[in-house]
Amino acid sequence: MDQKVRVRFAPSPTGPLHIGGVRTALYNYLFARQNGGEIILRIEDTDQTRYVPGAEQYIIEALDWLGIRFDEGVHIGGPYGPYRQSDRKAIYRQYAEQLLRDGWAYYAFDKPETLDAKRKEYESQKRTFQYDCTTRDSMENSLSLTSAEVERRLQAGEHYVVRFKFPAGIDITVHDLIRGDVTMNSNLLDDKVLFKSDGMPTYHLANIVDDHSMHITHVIRGEEWLPSAPLHVMLYRAFGWEETMPRFAHLPLLLKPEGNGKLSKRDGDRLGFPVFPLDWHDPESGELSSGYRERGYLPEAVVNMLALLGWNPGTEQELFTMDELIDRFSIEHISKSGAKFNVEKARWFNHEYMQKLSDEEVAALFAPQLEAHNIKAAHEYIVKVCGMMKERVSFPGELWDTCSYFFEAPTTYDPAAVKKRWKSGMTVHMNKVIEILETVPFDYEAIHHALLDEYIAGRQLNTGQVMNSLRLAVVGKTVGPDMITLIMTIGKDETVRRVRRAIDTIGEVEEKQEQPNN
Ligand code: GLU
């Protein structure tokens, strides 16, 4: 039977969404769209001790910023809601009871202190305690206690948990679309807690019940969940849902730029790049973690970069629109090994996407900086400057430093450049430049001809020296676009004013006397 593809992104609202989580959401989205399927946003908040206020809103805002749109979810509803697990609490008890009835689970009454003591005892013997087929008989649970005693404890309202009962000594195989078959022996697995006496399921139970009842066909998630997958496969078996069990794809980790270990917030702080999509203000500590959006990354650049961190298109192509990604994405081309985060590459992607913006769009991104510097300029002028200068920046935030001189005359002149270029006689040349600008028609060719061909070449002057001095006078340093274009843009009067100011400020330089060697 051909089933409609249905995937879900199921984050836990425990803080800002890590960029690796964003990639998981993106891959789910690409897969859903490519297959004409549906994608759901489900919030997995069963662990109330880790709940962080604001995190859910943050996740929604971040994915929306990146253009990852959902068909159903906590923010938009849908036919299989509610989509927040804490709102589904009443659903899970019956499933825990079904497992208990069918012998796939048992009540355990062990106090946290008892479990702690057991762990310590094992540790002192250099072993690790696991609640499993070898230890469960020695613990306090419905397998070791009489049914009357179990009944008594339940009636008395004692705290309990429901644990999964792994059958002893069986091989459990997870068919992973990226890794192939991954087999684990049940003896190595812990009887995980599925449900607690406060009525809350744990992640494992809620996740399987929800994926089943929301008709999820593919589970695409981070590699850190691979160790839980054998339990999940067993839960499908225990519920009798194996026929419709989703297919699994566990994505490789996002690694530190050096390639060893998982990318963490600390790496971001250390190397100066965000590991979160948006700025995040921790509600408890007030600490700020910076985000891609606020750093001036464009959402299309972030999407493109993330798509290629772990997936390989099989060609040299590096720039992909969302539609191209939807078209080209394939789970078969996801790598098994971790993907190294590359800060330079992230910058490069942003540069490329800045170039794709229209001059108007760049101008809109530049507006706050102009405002911060109290600059009022004609809209057309700003757009023109942005068009000329965008190729020189990777982030909108670099625009002011790159092109402030289009809006403000320099107040200082780079001393090294003055020393190198503004030689004796330069004030004479600069006065001549003023004269040329004031007499020839204000037109690119005319200025070029009069200045470069007639004056500089005609008198066999050093072009670099004169033109760089002129640039120094107009810009304050010796960088910038083509000089005549620059003059044409800022205008004759402004250029003349700036050259005069430079002549007055820097002044004439004494001819250096050759010092006789003695
Ligand atoms: N709630 C889990 C998480 O935070 C979801 C794992 C899964 O997709 O099954 O990543």
What are the tens digits of pLDDT across the range 152-199? Answer: 999 999 999 999 999 999 999 999 999 999 999 999 999 999 999 999
* pLDDT at position 518: 46
Q: Which ligand 1 atom sits nearest the alpha carbon of residue 21?
A: 10
- Of 43-57, 254-268, 478-492, least confident by mean pLDDT is 254-268
pLDDT category at 272 given cuts 50, 70, 90 is confident
313: number of CA atoms within 13 Å, CB side?
17
Other CB atoms within 10 Å distance of the CB of residue 138? 9
The yes-or-no verdict on residue 1 having pLDDT over 60 is: no
Q: Residue 85: its pLDDT value, please?
A: 98
**How far apart are the C-alpha atoms of 90 and 115, rounded to whole Å?**
28
> Could you tell me which residues come within 8 angstroms of residue 488 by beta carbon, excluding any fewer than 6 positions away?
442, 444, 447
Ligand 1 center to residue 22 CA distance, Å? Answer: 12
- Could you identify the atom of ligand 1 that is nearest to the CA of residue 11? 4
Residue 374 burial by CB count (10 A; 0-12/13-18/19+): exposed, middle or buried? exposed
Q: What's the rounded mean pLDDT across residues 324-338?
A: 96
Nearest Cα neighbor of 105 from 257, 228, 239, 287 is: 239
Q: How far is the CA of 6 from the centre of ligand 1 (A)?
A: 16
CA dist 164 and 194 (Å) reads 7
Distance 322 CA to ligand 1 centre (A): 24
Ligand 1 atom nearest to 203, measured from its CA: 1
pLDDT in tens, 86-101: 999 999 999 999 999 9
Q: Strands 193-196 and 161-164, how do they pair?
A: antiparallel
Q: How much is the pLDDT for 3?
A: 86
> Which ligand 1 atom is the nearest neighbour of the CA of 44?
1
Residue 82: cis peptide before it, omega within 30 degrees of 0: yes
* Cα(221) to centroid(ligand 1), Å: 7
CA of 393 to the centre of ligand 1 (A): 38
Strand, helix or coil for residue 421: helix
pLDDT of residue 508: 87
Q: What integer is the mean pLDDT of 257-273?
A: 87
pLDDT band at 377; cut points 50, 70, 90? very high
Pocket test for ligand 1, best of 22, 29, 43, 207 (most atoms within 8 A of CB): 207
Q: Provide the b/e sequence for 71-95 (b: ≥16 CB within 10 Å).
A: ebbbbeebebbebbbeebbeebeeb
CA dist 17 and 15 (Å) reads: 6
* Residue 135 pLDDT > 50: yes
Percent residues over pLDDT 90 in the chain: 94
pLDDT in tens, 462-491: 999 999 999 999 999 999 999 999 999 999
Bridge partners (DSSP) of residue 281 are: 288
User: Considering only CA atoms, which of 174, 179, 236, 249 is closest in space to residue 204?
Assistant: 236
| DSSP-derived secondary structure for 94-134 | HHHHHHHHTTSEEEE---HHHHHHHHHHHHHTT-----STT
Give, using CA atoms, the residue closest to atom 2 of ligand 1.
11
pLDDT at 156: 97
CA of 220, closest atom in ligand 1: 8
Is-contact 447 436, C-beta < 8 A? yes
Predicted local confidence at residue 497, as pLDDT:
98
Q: Judge whether residue 270 has pLDDT over 90.
A: no
Q: Do β-strands 38-41 and 6-9 pair in parallel, antiparallel, or remain unpaired?
A: parallel
- Report residues whose beta carbon is within 6 angstroms of any ligand 1 atom: 10-12, 44, 203, 207, 219, 221, 225
Beta strands of 126-279 (E only): which ranges?
A: 161-164, 171-176, 180-185, 193-196, 218-222, 247-251, 254-255
Mean pLDDT (whole number) for 140-145: 98
Identify which of 516, 497, 157, 178 has the alpha carbon closest to the alpha carbon of residue 335: 178
| CA atoms of 311 and 263, how far apart (whole Å) | 17
Choice between 283 and 517, residue whose per-residue pLDDT is larger? 283
Radius of gyration over every alpha carbon of the chain, rounded to an integer in angstroms: 33
pLDDT reported for residue 510: 76
Q: Which atom of ligand 1 is nearest to the CA of 211?
A: 9
Q: Whose CA is nearest to atom 10 of ligand 1?
A: 11
- How remote is the CA of residue 270 from the centroid of ligand 1, in Å? 27
pLDDT tens-digit profile of 288-323?
999 999 999 999 999 999 999 999 999 999 999 999
Quick one: pLDDT band at residue 513, thresholds 50, 70, 90? low
The residue whose CB lies within 8 Å of the most ligand 1 atoms, and thus the one to mutate among 9, 12, 24, 210, is 12
Catalytic residues: 265
Helix axes 426-439, 463-475, angle to 10 degrees: 70
Percentage of the chain exceeding pLDDT 70: 98
**What mean pLDDT comes out for the span 76-93?**
97
User: CA 420, CA 400: separation in Å to the nearest integer?
Assistant: 26
- Read off the pLDDT of residues 224-246 as tens digits, 9 standing for 90 and up: 999 999 999 999 999 999 999 99
Q: Are 55 and 16 in contact, with CB atoms under 8 Å apart?
A: yes
% helix / strand / coil in the chain, to the nearest 5?
A: 50, 10, 40
In terms of pLDDT, which residue wins out, 509 or 446? 446
251: CA distance to ligand 1 center in Å? Answer: 12
What is the per-residue pLDDT for 445? 97
Span 357-378, mean pLDDT? 97
Q: Whose CA is nearest to atom 3 of ligand 1?
A: 11
Tell me the CA–centroid distance for residue 44 and ligand 1, in Å. 7
Cβ–Cβ contacts within 10 Å for residue 419, how many? 10
CA–CA gap between residue 106 and residue 141 (Å, rounded): 7
DSSP, collapsed to helix, strand or coil, labels residue 262 as: strand
What type of residue sits at position 225?
W
Looking at the predicted structure, is the pLDDT value of residue 68 above 70?
A: yes
Mean pLDDT, rounded, of the chain: 95
